Structure 1
Amino acid sequence: MEFGVVLVVLGGFLIGGAWSIWKADHDTKGRTGPQVFFAAVLFVAAALATASGILRLV
């Protein structure tokens, strides 16, 4: 298995984690600041992993 495929799969898992954190809001308070920050960090990491995986496959 090529390393690019591993990076694309890792990016998919990170996007899933970001989506899970984003959807886990509190009923009355909504999303908290740290929750939004952590979801954004995971999304950026997922985008970087996916982009680098695609570039390694090309």
Structure 2
Amino acid sequence: MSSGVVLVVLGGFLIGGAWSIWKADHDTKGRTGPQVGFAVLLLVAALLATVAGVLRLV
């Protein structure tokens, strides 16, 4: 398995983690600041991993 495929799969897992954190909000308070920050951080890491994987495959 090439490193490009591994990076694309890793990006998919990170996108799933970002989505999971984004959906886990408190009933009355909504999303907290650190929760939003960590979800955005995971999303950026996922996008970087996915783009790097696609570029490795090309």
- SS across alignment from 1:21: helix
Q: Which runs of 5+ in 2 are unaligned?
A: none
Which residue of 1 is the match for residue 17 of structure 2? 17
Q: Normalising by structure 1, report the TM-score.
A: 1.00
Runs of 4+ with deviation above 4 angstroms: none
TM-fit CA distance, 1:32: 0.1
- SS across alignment from 2:28: coil
Q: Tell me, in whole angstroms, the C-alpha distance in 2 between the residues paired with 1:46 and 1:10.
A: 7
Q: Normalising by structure 2, report the TM-score.
A: 1.00
Question: 1:32 aligned to 2:32?
Answer: yes
Residues 26-49 of structure 1, C-alpha deviation per residue, up to 9 Å, x if partnerless? Answer: 000000000000000000000000
Q: Tell me, in whole angstroms, the C-alpha distance in 1 between the residues paired with 2:12 and 2:26.
A: 25
Identity of aligned residues (%): 83
Q: Tell me, in whole angstroms, the C-alpha distance in 2 between the residues paired with 1:47 and 1:26.
A: 27
CA RMSD in angstroms, aligned pairs only: 0.1
Alignment size in residue pairs: 58
Q: Which runs of 5+ in 1 are unaligned?
A: none
